[in-house]
Amino acid sequence: MNNVERFKKLMSFEPVDRLPIVEWAFYWDKTLERWYEEGLSRNIADVAEIRKHFGFDRYLQCWIGPYGPDCPHAESHGAPIIKNKGEFNGILEHLYKPNFDESEIEKWAVEHEAGESVVWITLEGFFWHPRTLFGIENHFYAFMDQPELMHDMNKRLVDFSLKVIEKFCSICQPDFMTLAEDMSYNHGPMLSKRMYDVFLLPYYQQLIPELKKRDIHVFIDSDGGIEPLLPWLKEAGIEGILPLERMAGVDVNEIRKEHPDFLMIGGFDKTVMHLGEEAIRNEFERILSAMKSGGYIPSVDHQTPPAVSLEDYKLYISILREYCVKAVS
């Protein structure tokens, strides 16, 4: 069974020969620096090459943002790029123009057609994008103070996203996509259901049917306590979620009980990866029930932290391989 066949069957809750062996997240620079000091070749720096080095299944991600190369940036993380409609209009020339390396995606298409590479795309979602422009604090005020501008941003974003999908799919058909949102924190969603219904749901309802027409599985990427969000997401036609952070109390077994048809990626508690073989095995035993249920790819519940040594990570991968077979035996 090749990588594409295995992914498609698993996401349809069909039998597979083993679960995908995947690292979905980018690598934290501090973690990589530790691994380089511990012997990983500094010539291995690209995410895809790092994953190949460790023997993961080939999954290729293309993150396509709505910002041109000359778009202004926030002065610091969470700071605003714009504060009002006038400033937004002032940067429009730098926004919402689909741009990705088509020649690279043509290479991906060849691998995908052969079943070697699962292809996924990431687009900014309708919570994430206004937050990036307004900045974290001003974004919360904007729901009440600047609703027309919020809608303007998201109308433009959904048009941009539809153009991206049409252009990308003319070259290569992705197997799934993630909408970057991060709209929960440890204690639950950062917006109410009413705000979700007004500011996010209408745009999901425009975008998601077009994805499903192309048989692209739709995931939300949101950290934090996401359980209250799941009925909202399912209402919009969203099929799955990652990364399922254990430190926020997320339990993949409970999600599977409550939402037997929902797709999941992640869920392995990253905070035990440096604690030795017994701790790693205990964590896989904890999530094994969900692994056996289908529709779930086990992986770390966020980026691997710098506390994890190169040898720790190799041990984690070897045990992951074992449990990806055990889950279907």
* Ranges of each domain in the chain: 3-326
Q: What is the residue-averaged pLDDT of the chain?
A: 97
pLDDT by residue (tens digit) across 245-300?
999 999 999 999 999 999 999 999 999 999 999 999 999 999 999 999 999 999 99
Listed as ranges, residues in the chain with pLDDT below 70 are none
Strand order in the sheet with 240-243: 59-63, 118-124, 176-180, 217-222, 240-243, 263-268, 296-300
pLDDT at 291: 98
Q: Which residue's structure tokens are 């994805």?
A: 211
pLDDT at 123: 98
pTM over 0.85: yes
pLDDT at 129: 98
Inter-CA distances, 236 with 73, 201, 203, 222, Å? 31, 6, 9, 15
pLDDT at 139: 98
Phi-psi region of 74 (alpha: psi -120 to 50; beta: other; left: phi over 0): beta
pLDDT at 277: 98
pLDDT at 298: 98
| Residue 216 DSSP SS3 | coil
Backbone angles phi, psi at 83, to 5 degrees: -120, -15
**What is the Cα–Cα distance from 264 to 151, expressed in whole angstroms?**
30
Contact call for residues 144 and 138 (beta carbons, < 8 A): no
User: Cis (ω within 30 of 0) for the bond into 306?
Assistant: no
pLDDT at 273: 98
pLDDT at 234: 97
pLDDT at 211: 96
3-326 has CATH 3.30.230.70 classification: no
**What is the Cα–Cα distance from 299 to 269, expressed in whole angstroms?**
9
pLDDT at 204: 98
